[in-house]
């Protein structure tokens, strides 16, 4: 090797993985842990998103994601923060000093929506990049919406969420049924 070869400049990259996380699923945790291989610092941005009529409050969802990260062995020791947000995603990302938006994809139907959103975000802020991570094969079918529906109907959700999230769902649905 020639001594005049210069190694590429290394940059500290901060990424934001936004979502409602109502509730956080094994699929979410998979994307979070894999995203830490792409960025140096990851912010899990928990959206207010009142339009989706979340089952859990914003504070509860933030608390659940934080608890999941504490028990996630594959994410241990990485720089991950959980922060709630209620403004335009692009504004939140810029305010956080991030340059990457991380999005998970389960199916082709996800891609179409995410592709449009990435285009809009790029139009609003040219400096941002969107990185898509494909759901691992064991998590491709998991969605918070399906998890809530299964839980609401008394089904076992422990294949899709951690035991602690499953317990929170059980507790919430017992309260709603009473």
The binding site for ATP comprises 20-21, 28, 104-106, 114, 139-145
**Catalytic (active site) residue 144:** yes
C-alpha span between 16 and 89 (Å, rounded): 9
| From 61, 99, 144, 162, active-site residue | 144
Strand residues in 11-68 grouped as ranges (E)? 14-19, 41-47
Binding residue numbers: 20-21, 28, 52, 89, 103-106, 114, 139-145
**Catalytic (active site) residue 176:** no
Instruction: Report the relative pairing of strands 14-19 and 41-47 from DSSP bridges.
Output: parallel
Instruction: Report the relative pairing of strands 129-134 and 41-47 from DSSP bridges.
Output: unpaired
| From 52, 136, 138, 159, active-site residue | 52
Binding residue numbers for substrate: 20, 52, 89, 103
C-alpha span between 17 and 45 (Å, rounded): 6
Q: Are 100 and 39 in contact (CB under 8 A)?
A: yes
**Catalytic (active site) residue 106:** yes
C-alpha span between 96 and 127 (Å, rounded): 13
| From 28, 61, 148, 168, active-site residue | 28
| From 13, 34, 66, 106, active-site residue | 106
CA separation, residue 149 to residues 155, 162, 173 (Å): 9, 16, 10
C-alpha span between 60 and 45 (Å, rounded): 14
**Catalytic (active site) residue 28:** yes
C-alpha span between 40 and 36 (Å, rounded): 7
| Residues belonging to the active site | 28, 52, 106, 144
């Amino acid at each position: 090797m020639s001594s005049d070869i210069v190694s590429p400049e290394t940059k500290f990259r901060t990424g934001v993985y936004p979502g409602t996380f109502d509730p956080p699923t094994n699929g979410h945790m998979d994307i979070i842990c894999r995203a830490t291989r792409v960025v140096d610092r990851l912010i899990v941005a928990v959206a207010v998103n009142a339009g989706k009529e979340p089952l859990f409050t914003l504070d509860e969802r933030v608390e659940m994601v934080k608890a999941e990260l504490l028990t996630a062995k594959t994410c241990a020791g990485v720089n991950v923060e959980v922060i709630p947000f209620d403004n335009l995603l692009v504004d939140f990302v810029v305010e956080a000093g991030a340059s990457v938006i991380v999005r998970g994809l389960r199916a082709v139907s996800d891609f179409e929506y995410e592709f449009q959103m990435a285009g809009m975000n790029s139009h609003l802020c040219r400096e941002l990049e969107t990185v898509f991570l494909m759901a691992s094969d064991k998590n491709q079918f998991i969605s918070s919406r399906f998890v809530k529906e299964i839980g609401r109907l008394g089904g076992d959700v422990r294949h899709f969420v951690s035991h602690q999230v499953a317990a929170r769902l059980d507790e919430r649905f017992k309260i709603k049924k009473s």
